[in-house]
Amino acid sequence: MAEEDDSTDESQKTEDPTPRRLEEARKRGQVVYSREVNNWVVLFVATMITALALPRVMSDIKNMMGNLIEQSYDVPGDPASLLHAMRILCERAAGDIVLPLLLLGLAGLLSGFLQTGPIFTFDPITPDLSKISLTKGFGRLFSARSVVELVKGVFKLLLVSAAIFIVLKPYFAGIGHFVGLDLAQAMSELLTLFLKMMIAVLSVLFFLAIIDYMFQRHEFMQNMRMSKQDIKEEFRQTEGDPHIKGRLRQLREQKARQRMMQAVPKADVVITNPTHYAVALKYDTAAMDAPVMVAKGVDLVAQRIRQVAKENDVPVVENPTLARALYDSMQIDQVIPRDHYKAVAEVISYVFKLKGKNL
């Protein structure tokens, strides 16, 4: 029974996804993405475009209608002239429509890019015959996710309707007021009403978009969870990857170098050759039987050790033979070998005299 329980625990997806699993999912086009965020950005841009462009468009329409009325007697009657006039009108209308459409498309692309980052994959649109199944289709249609999407849609519709009703309610009693206004005044007040309504709608949808993004992220991470067996298998696979091995070795060396540099300010002396080699020694007479090497390096690392030592008032002693010998024969945190006791003792004694300390 205990073995069965262990096997069950190994297969349960209880572990957070590893960076490698998330990267593989990303290559397949599986990332955190919220349509609500994308829709909100597009609607926000559409509202801004409308607010900025509508007054100018209405002014153009007003001027055009005025010109048509004033110059109605000059309107040509032949088909060619009429087609020419219609072409000019369509070109003006296209100029007012194409740019906003391009901006809306750009807003949608930018919103998706900010959510997911750059992704270049054809996996989501590659045909998969195994997915073409009537049974699976009905299963997806009546799945828990479909129910959640339906409830979310109804809830969003109710909230948006409530927001619009709250904005429009004060205008119900005075709706006849618009009848007595000229076209410019009516359009100005309608634009103001439209903006109030859209601010309310955008405010509601903004909070819904945040909630939906958090939900999509949570669901994505849940779907990406791994079992302990999955993690073990991934580890076995990556251990054989030379790139992974190299990266892990680089990280280990970097951490070891950081710990080593943190120990230099606590050293009692740094012995150099003087340019290519540097070793840092520490000797606590109360706790150590012999000095211990806390850092060593060549070239750039040696230069950095000397720099840190000078910044922290650690004595730097030039002894090329001893520095090279200690570097070649010792590892970090190793006690000085007996062969080097005499030479190291002379250096330590000299440094302690400088500091006024006793051996």
Query: Could you tell me if 173 and 277 lie in one domain?
Result: no
Instruction: Please state, for a pLDDT cut of 70, what percent of the chain lies above it.
Output: 75
Q: What is the mean pLDDT of residues 90-102?
A: 73
Query: Could you tell me if 65 and 184 lie in one domain?
Result: yes
Hey, CA dihedral for 182, 183, 185, 187, is it positive or negative? Answer: positive
Output the domain CATH number for residue 306: 3.40.1690.10
127 domain residue, yes or no = no
CA distances in angstroms from 110 to 38, 41, 105, 113, 121, listed in the order given: 9, 9, 9, 5, 18
pTM over 0.85: no
The boundaries of the domain holding residue 316 are: 258-355
104 domain residue, yes or no = yes
Query: Could you tell me if 140 and 189 lie in one domain?
Result: yes
Query: Could you tell me if 71 and 153 lie in one domain?
Result: yes
Q: What is the DSSP string of 70-87?
A: HTGGG---SHHHHHHHHH
Answer with the one of 230, 249, 276 that is the final residue of a domain: 230
Identify the DSSP state of 283.
-
251 domain residue, yes or no = no
| 169-223 pLDDT tens trace | 887 776 666 666 676 677 778 888 888 999 999 999 999 999 999 999 998 999 8
Query: Could you tell me if 219 and 265 lie in one domain?
Result: no
Answer with the one of 230, 246, 268 that is the final residue of a domain: 230
Answer with the one of 230, 246, 274 that is the final residue of a domain: 230
Query: Could you tell me if 195 and 334 lie in one domain?
Result: no
241 domain residue, yes or no = no
21 domain residue, yes or no = yes
Query: Could you tell me if 208 and 86 lie in one domain?
Result: yes
| Pairing between β-strand 316-318 and β-strand 277-282 as defined by DSSP bridges | unpaired
| 52-92 pLDDT tens trace | 877 776 676 666 666 655 555 555 555 666 676 677 667 76
3 domain residue, yes or no = no
Query: Could you tell me if 46 and 150 lie in one domain?
Result: yes
247 domain residue, yes or no = no
Per the structure, the count of domains in the chain is 2
33 domain residue, yes or no = yes
Query: Could you tell me if 308 and 170 lie in one domain?
Result: no
Query: Could you tell me if 209 and 331 lie in one domain?
Result: no
Query: Could you tell me if 224 and 327 lie in one domain?
Result: no
Query: Could you tell me if 70 and 154 lie in one domain?
Result: yes
Give the C-alpha separation, 257 to 92, whole Å: 68
| 41-51 pLDDT tens trace | 999 999 888 88
